[in-house]
A and B are shown apart, each in its own frame.
Chain A
């Protein structure tokens, strides 16, 4: 099973500053179709998870361009620029390349 290790697990930030979350995989995540199925999700308090970034760096429709994803191989990063109050929640990385698909432990972002 692929293990995704997120860091930090808790991320206190100041409004307007930037934040970065790391996701390290125990295996490479390139699928046989050539794509890398490393995705990022946001879960606000009391809500269902919402996808932010798919296949490493593709931002979903409606997601502010303050969010960006990058990485390759086994190291991936989610960056939040100019953090706003609405960004509070838990962020998860997830790999959809190797079954069973797996999630990181989650990073709690707090203002």
Chain B
């Protein structure tokens, strides 16, 4: 059965850093584009970043460019999101999702709270 499990969320002060991880199973991870999508409390869904299967092509939304870095380790079936210079507005549940164009498999999400 396809499963993606995110971890690494927590409470961090503005300006701080956090690294999110996602371990995939049953989804043939290494051949697919992957993405991070986030959802602020009580709000809708927003894109964060995509990465191609080789890890060589990365797309970011403007609001996180220069602060967030998406990466992957296909040998470990893992996706990562390094988040630096965090802002209060980055507070959200972050979801690891397969296939950015049509988002077929979602993780359960990990909550990131940026607050002083």
Q: Which A-chain residue is minimally distant from B61 (CB atoms)?
A: A100
6 A–B contacts, CB within 8 A, in A order: A37-B102, A41-B45, A49-B45, A49-B103, A51-B103, A103-B44
Q: Which A-chain residue is minimally distant from B103 (CB atoms)?
A: A51
Interface centre among B47, B59, B101, B109, by most chain A C-beta atoms within 10 angstroms, is: B101
Q: Give the shortest distance, in Å, between B102 (CB) and chain A (any CB).
A: 5
8 Å CB interface, B74-109 against A: 95, 100-104, 106-109
Shortest Cβ-Cβ A-B pairs, 9 listed: A96-B101, A103-B45, A54-B102, A48-B106, A37-B101, A106-B44, A39-B102, A100-B61, A100-B47
* Contact yes or no, A41 B59, CB < 8 A: no
Measured CA separation A97–B104 after assembly (Å): 15
* Contact yes or no, A101 B106, CB < 8 A: no
Q: Is the interface of B mostly helix, strand, loop or mixed?
A: loop
Measured CA separation A15–B72 after assembly (Å): 45
Interface string of B22-54 (1 = CB under 8 A from A): 000000000000000000000011110000000
Measured CA separation A55–B103 after assembly (Å): 11
Residues of A within 8 A of B62 (CB): 100
Residues of B within 8 A of A50 (CB): 106
* Contact yes or no, B44 A96, CB < 8 A: no
CB within 8 A of A101: which of B44, B100, B104?
B100
Measured CA separation A18–B18 after assembly (Å): 45
Residues of A within 8 A of B95 (CB): 48-49
* Contact yes or no, B108 A41, CB < 8 A: no
Measured CA separation A1–B100 after assembly (Å): 16
* Contact yes or no, B102 A51, CB < 8 A: yes
Interface string of A23-49 (1 = CB under 8 A from B): 000000001000001010100000011
